[in-house]
């Protein structure tokens, strides 16, 4: 039988690799509401390591995920009542280093877990056992599925109406969630078109099955779509906003549908929005019997566990490419340590990433990987 470790109330203890867990840690905290991440967030170097309660796990983070919505969170857009200071970051993966008595019924010290929880940009975090996701190993690939993979999976399943032969346009297709929209649409036997900003991204998209890539820096997306798909596209998976949104509306086929999962081009603006040509929208939708649906994960949490389970299975079997960008090609190199989260957010907004941006939090004890 496994030893039950009740570490809920100890102030100082050893982790599963025999090193002492410190009493203080570093974490990123939103100290001012602003869509400018560097302005909004402060690195605290001496924050107390939290203590897990009865049903909790204490997780030592090894990798944290960067999301476009990190700056919506730091701007206070998701919860207008939020008052700084509060922890930044939304997802991480790491090792359980301590846990409460109830939590030890299902989890053990040394186990690999991933989670989605505000305050993830920290060296240690307390995660309720019921919200943790056991993963086979602490690999950043599994982290790509927590927000980015599930967003694509659930939105396409619930709102996409995918079927064989449908033409699916994915904007920002080489990004964290775009990569999954491409692959899942291909699994549904659709014809997939992906927009991207470089030939390198185009090559990546082709490698994961994208049928037609459009480099919007060197090609006119609207004229390429008109020429190649004169009857329009059936489904658009849209995360860019602004001019790309307008272009996508114009490219919808009769009975076409657009899924809006975000509008990254607007997030850095004070309003969080980029203007769109909405005056003609009712007429355009009416003339095509087309529809636009918004997708916000919090409204689909009932589907989350099932979606994640399916994605993890596909990932483990090698049926899904979970591309991770650790910043190795960025000017200052790999994203390592909490201080590099600022660089990683900048890198995302410069549109440089291929796949999901992940920051590594190294630990002095030899890792199990």
3-class SS shares of the chain: helix, strand, coil, % to 5: 30, 25, 45
**Average pLDDT over the chain, rounded to whole?**
93
**pLDDT reported for residue 25:** 96
Rounded Cα distance between 211 and 92, Å, is 32
For the stretch 266-283, pLDDT in tens is: 999 998 989 999 899 999
pLDDT at 152 over 70: yes
Backbone angles phi, psi at 62, to 5 degrees: -110, -30
pLDDT at 264 over 70: yes
Report residue 80's pLDDT band, with 50, 70 and 90 as the boundaries: confident
For the stretch 242-251, pLDDT in tens is: 999 999 999 9
pLDDT at 17 over 70: no
For the stretch 24-69, pLDDT in tens is: 999 999 999 999 999 999 999 999 999 998 899 999 999 999 999 9
Closest of 127, 108, 100, 81 to residue 16, by C-alpha: 108
Report residue 82's pLDDT band, with 50, 70 and 90 as the boundaries: confident
**pLDDT reported for residue 11:** 42
- Other C-beta atoms within 10 Å of 162: how many? 17
The pTM score is 0.93
pLDDT at 353 over 50: yes
Rounded Cα distance between 342 and 264, Å, is 17
pLDDT at 368 over 50: no
pLDDT at 13 over 70: no
State what percent of residues in the chain have pLDDT above 90.
87
- If you average pLDDT over residues 311-332, what whole number do you get? 97
Give the chain's domains with CATH numbers. Answer: 24-138+323-360 (3.90.180.10), 148-298 (3.40.50.720)
């Amino acid at each position: 039988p496994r030893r039950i470790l009740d570490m809920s109330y100890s102030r100082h203890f050893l982790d599963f690799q025999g090193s002492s867990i410190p009493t203080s840690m570093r974490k990123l905290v939103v100290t001012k509401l602003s869509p400018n991440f560097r302005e909004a967030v402060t690195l605290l170097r001496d924050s107390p390591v939290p203590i897990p309660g009865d049903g909790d796990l204490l997780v030592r983070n090894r990798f944290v995920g960067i999301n476009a919505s990190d700056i919506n969170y730091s701007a206070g857009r998701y919860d207008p009542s939020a008052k700084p200071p509060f922890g930044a970051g939304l997802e991480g993966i790491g090792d359980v280093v301590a846990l409460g008595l109830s939590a030890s019924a299902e989890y053990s010290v040394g186990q690999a877990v991933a989670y989605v929880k505000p305050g993830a940009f920290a060296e240690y975090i307390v995660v309720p056992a019921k919200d943790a996701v056991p993963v086979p190993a602490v690999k950043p690939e599994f982290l790509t599925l927590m927000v980015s993979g599930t967003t694509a999976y659930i939105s396409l399943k619930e709102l996409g109406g995918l079927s064989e032969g449908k033409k699916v346009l994915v904007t920002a297709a080489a990004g964290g969630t775009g990569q999954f929209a491409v692959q899942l649409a291909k699994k549904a036997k659709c014809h997939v078109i992906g927009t991207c900003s470089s030939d390198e991204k185009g090559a990546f998209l082709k490698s994961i099955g994208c049928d037609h890539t459009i480099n919007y820096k060197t090609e006119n997306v609207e004229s390429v779509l008109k020429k190649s798909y004169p009857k329009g596209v059936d489904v658009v998976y849209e995360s860019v906003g602004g001019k790309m949104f307008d272009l996508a509306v114009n490219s919808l086929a009769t009975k076409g549908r657009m899924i809006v999962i975000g509008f990254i081009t607007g997030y850095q603006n004070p309003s969080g929005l980029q203007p769109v040509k909405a005056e003609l929208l009712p007429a355009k939708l009416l003339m095509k019997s087309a529809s636009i649906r918004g997708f916000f994960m919090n409204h689909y949490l009932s589907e989350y566990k099932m979606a994640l389970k399916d994605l993890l299975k596909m990932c483990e079997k090698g049926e899904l490419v979970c591309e991770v960008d650790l910043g190795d090609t960025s000017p200052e190199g790999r994203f390592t340590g909490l201080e590099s989260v600022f660089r990683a957010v900048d890198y995302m907004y410069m549109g440089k990433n291929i796949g999901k941006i992940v920051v590594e939090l190294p630990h002095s004890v030899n890792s199990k990987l």
